[in-house]
């Protein structure tokens, strides 16, 4: 029997307070009101997000999956044998299944997710599909991980998997800090397989985040419903509207909840007042050019080894390697080690 079934590490422990109240109060007290995006992803939110991934307009999931499928042998080769694969924000784990099936003799798989519910569900599934694989799940906010759980068999290297362009949720300085932590956690010889959403014409981006069926709107408004339910707030959901414009200067989609009228909302015995048209930002989704992301990764201690992308350049899956620190003139050029294909020639 697979150990993973014995290791739902979270379930024996009282749930830690996740700070929703304090973070919501702090966020709504700012001049530009905001609510941290991680609170979008409770059980309802995760279900809606899975529906978003199926939408015609929402290209990232579909495109990334196709890139992973089309290049799986080369990806598996770069990751190599006997690795410890750590997945940040593993969610429903669909992408991982395909990867796991192609990785030879892994030392173990460590899925990390903030939603214990999703984590357990996917681990039970994967454990039955991969009976020989050691799975050590970790329920955690992946910003707060001090070390990666060990596996019984010593790995040759640790490779992090961070799909879904979730890195786009971080403002660039935070993205660098986060990737730097991953580099440290993986250590020398380690790698990172990451999905990155690319810059592209506004219409494509805005369609993806303002879908016709209104699933994204429901997902976004869900954070207000959650605040009402869990924090006793009194948001009038009909008085806020979802909008997600692309901010070209920052290179990001901004998920907003726009107040339809002047109003005030009670939360934790405080009043938060809104003018008509004033909005709460709930999520950023940064888009990158290839050199832009390579430069950011370089500052975090990674060098770009390989880029795979779809033919329309909508999305990239990148393999990055933890940089060794011996001084070497070659390393001053981001990710340019000659192993990457056509795309690089176009960029450099
Ligand atoms: C999970 C952060 C990658 O930014 O595309 C999708 C979240 N929000 N539609 C993204 C999201 C609204 C998604 N990430």
Q: Find the 219 Cα to ligand 1 centroid distance in Å.
A: 10
pLDDT digits (tens, 9 = 90+) for 167-219: 999 999 999 999 999 999 999 999 999 999 999 999 999 999 999 999 999 99
Burial class (CB in 10 A: 0-12, 13-18, 19+), 101: exposed
- Digit-coded pLDDT (tens) for 33-51: 999 999 998 889 989 999 9
* Residue ranges of domains in the chain, CATH in brackets: 59-200+287-346 (3.40.50.150)
Ligand 1 midpoint to CA 1 (Å): 36
Choose among 161, 154, 112, 158: nearest CA to 135: 112
Dist. CA 152 → ligand 1 center (Å): 35
The mean predicted confidence, pLDDT, of the chain is 89
Question: Quick one: pLDDT at residue 264?
Answer: 98
Protein residue closest via CA to atom 13 of ligand 1 = 166
Which residue shows structure tokens 């592209």? 200
Q: What is the CB neighbour count within 10 angstroms for residue 136?
A: 21
Q: What's the whole-model pTM score?
A: 0.87
pLDDT for the residue 102: 96
């Amino acid at each position: 029997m697979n150990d993973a079934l014995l290791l739902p590490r979270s379930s024996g422990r009282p749930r830690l307070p996740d700070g929703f109240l304090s973070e919501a109060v702090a966020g709504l007290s700012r001049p530009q009101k905001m609510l941290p995006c991680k609170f979008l992803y409770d059980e309802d939110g995760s279900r809606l997000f899975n529906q978003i991934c199926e939408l015609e307009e929402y290209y990232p999931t579909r495109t990334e999956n196709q890139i992973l499928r089309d290049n799986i042998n080369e990806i598996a080769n770069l990751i190599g044998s006997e690795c410890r694969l750590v997945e940040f924000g593993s969610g429903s784990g669909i992408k991982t299944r395909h990867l796991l099936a192609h990785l030879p003799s892994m030392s173990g798989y460590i899925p990390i997710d903030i939603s214990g519910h999703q984590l357990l569900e996917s681990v039970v599934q994967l454990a039955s599909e991969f009976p020989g694989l050691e799975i050590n799940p970790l329920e955690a906010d992946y910003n707060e991980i001090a070390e990666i759980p060990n596996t019984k068999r010593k790995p040759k290297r640790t490779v992090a998997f961070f799909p879904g362009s979730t890195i786009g949720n971080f403002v660039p300085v935070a993205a660098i800090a986060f990737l730097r932590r991953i580099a440290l956690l993986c250590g020398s010889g380690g790698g990172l397989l990451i999905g990155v959403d690319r810059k592209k014409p506004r219409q494509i981006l805005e369609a993806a985040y303002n879908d016709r069926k209104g699933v994204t709107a429901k997902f976004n408004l869900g954070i207000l419903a959650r605040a009402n339910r869990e924090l006793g707030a009194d948001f009038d959901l009909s008085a806020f509207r979802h909008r997600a414009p692309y901010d070209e200067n920052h290179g990001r989609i901004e998920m907003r909840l726009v107040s339809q009228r002047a109003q005030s909302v009670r939360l934790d015995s405080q009043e938060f007042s809104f003018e008509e048209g004033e909005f709460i930002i709930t999520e950023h989704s940064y888009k990158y050019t290839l050199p832009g992301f390579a430069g950011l990764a370089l500052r975090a201690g990674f060098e770009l080894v390989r880029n795979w992308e779809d033919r329309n350049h909508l999305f990239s899956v990148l393999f990055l390697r933890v940089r060794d620190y011996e001084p070497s003139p070659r390393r001053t050029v981001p990710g340019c080690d000659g192993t990457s294909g056509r795309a690089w020639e176009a960029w450099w």
